[in-house]
Structure 1
């Protein structure tokens, strides 16, 4: 596949955007497309930030943020939120590795997943509302959170063994390997987007360095959690890591920037 085709494949994989891709897709194509997951996050972030900016002209900011969160769910099909809920259901309700995997594959949501999902969405809402004191910083925080959270979650690929699910798994096939070139493109994407925001918001170079340290610690925590629970990761784990990193970014912004 060409690089543009790989980007479109990444867009199809992570969102509900109606993009057409001709030809068949191999496992290797999926592996290679993961290099553009951060760029897909950047596109999603731009969409959400622009939507919030427009909606906020017509309704109070609190309502605009709520509508923007809903739009984010529509654009991504709640793909990552579904993984987050499944992880909490599996880890909270299973004892053995197989029990946890079986629960995570169940399309129904349990108590642990429902409660965790409620806390997740409320956390996003309250953190974004706190950031709304500075509109430019709020918009930049949304863009950078969508970008860097996907960069960090994708970087887990290759750091942990993939826990193979059976053929009845409801999750999409995921990238199971991240080549050195793909990892470099992934990190470069996140770095470039971060640098673009400097000077346009309240973020300084020291804020960005602190944010990267926060994300590294968050990724390390997710690695330890997934290893202890499953001995590796699944697609649901990557979705959960993305959501956790997104909240970590918003929290860092509230604590350090405002």
Structure 2
């Protein structure tokens, strides 16, 4: 298999892992479910997964829709594509880490499919912040620029998942994250490099000022390590929920920074 074909296979597997989009079965021939190499394609997969939402936002703005309405439509489209996978992780992580008295108690809460007070608050706050921040982009960028900015954030926030994943051992012996294995060091490097480069190019192409882009990167660089450090302190490892929560927190931090400084 050539390098291009291998990366395409990883991208398709990453799309299937991160969304509800159907991927042809041929891309899973010989697949053992391990994600060690596949994670390198997370930024590209995230960009493709977010493409429908970015188009919905740009088209809504072009049709003179209110920016907040356009933002909510874009978030709705994104939720349909991803099945609210990362939002579910955020809610479970907030419930477990917020309500768990001990490491074991926190992990037990995170396994519970019910959503508690911490989870609801986390979802409401992040959805509200994302919606308002996305709407605010329309005051600074063209419709096409807004779409490109959303794609940039999608790529970089998926790279954050890989970094968080690589920094912590599995908190449980079983589960989605444990079964998927640890990211390969080379794959982590590729994911981070791809996410940063794609985000930088897309933000600049969107018309975001260099200063605003640098501040957004700084917000990202602070949020993700602090979250990872907190998770390590509370449960000494990652779970699928904390990985998903990482994406949500990274996306929110990037959007808020751009909304304020773009």
Q: TM-score, normalised by structure 1?
A: 0.89
C-alpha contact 2:71 2:135 (8 A) present in aligned 1: yes
| Other-structure match for 2:148 | 140
Q: How do residues 118-197 of structure 1 correspond to structure 2 at under 5 angstroms? A: 118-136=124-142, 137-166=145-174, 169=175, 171=176, 175-197=180-202
Q: How do residues 1-258 of structure 1 correspond to structure 2 at under 5 angstroms? A: 2-22=6-26, 23-28=29-34, 30-58=35-63, 59-136=65-142, 137-166=145-174, 169=175, 171=176, 175-197=180-202, 199-257=204-262
Output the CA distance in 2 between the equivalents of 1:102 and 1:199: 44
Q: Against the structure 1 CA distance between its residues 37 and 199, is the aligned structure 2 distance closer, same or farther, given a 3 Å change threshold?
A: closer
- Determine helix, strand or coil for the equivalent of 2:167: coil
Q: TM-score, normalised by structure 2?
A: 0.88
Superposed displacement of residue 11, structure 1: 0.6
- Determine helix, strand or coil for the equivalent of 2:71: helix
- Determine helix, strand or coil for the equivalent of 1:31: coil
Q: Which runs of 5+ in 2 are unaligned?
A: none
C-alpha contact 2:54 2:147 (8 A) present in aligned 1: yes
Output the CA distance in 2 between the equivalents of 1:41 and 1:25: 21
Cα deviation, 1:57-94, whole Å, max 9, x if unaligned, reads 44333222111111110101101000000001111221
Q: Which runs of 5+ in 1 are unaligned?
A: none
- Determine helix, strand or coil for the equivalent of 1:227: helix
RMSD of aligned C-alpha atoms? 2.0
Output the CA distance in 1 between the equivalents of 2:227 and 2:180: 18
Output the CA distance in 2 between the equivalents of 1:84 and 1:192: 26
C-alpha contact 1:45 1:145 (8 A) present in aligned 2: no
Aligned length: 253
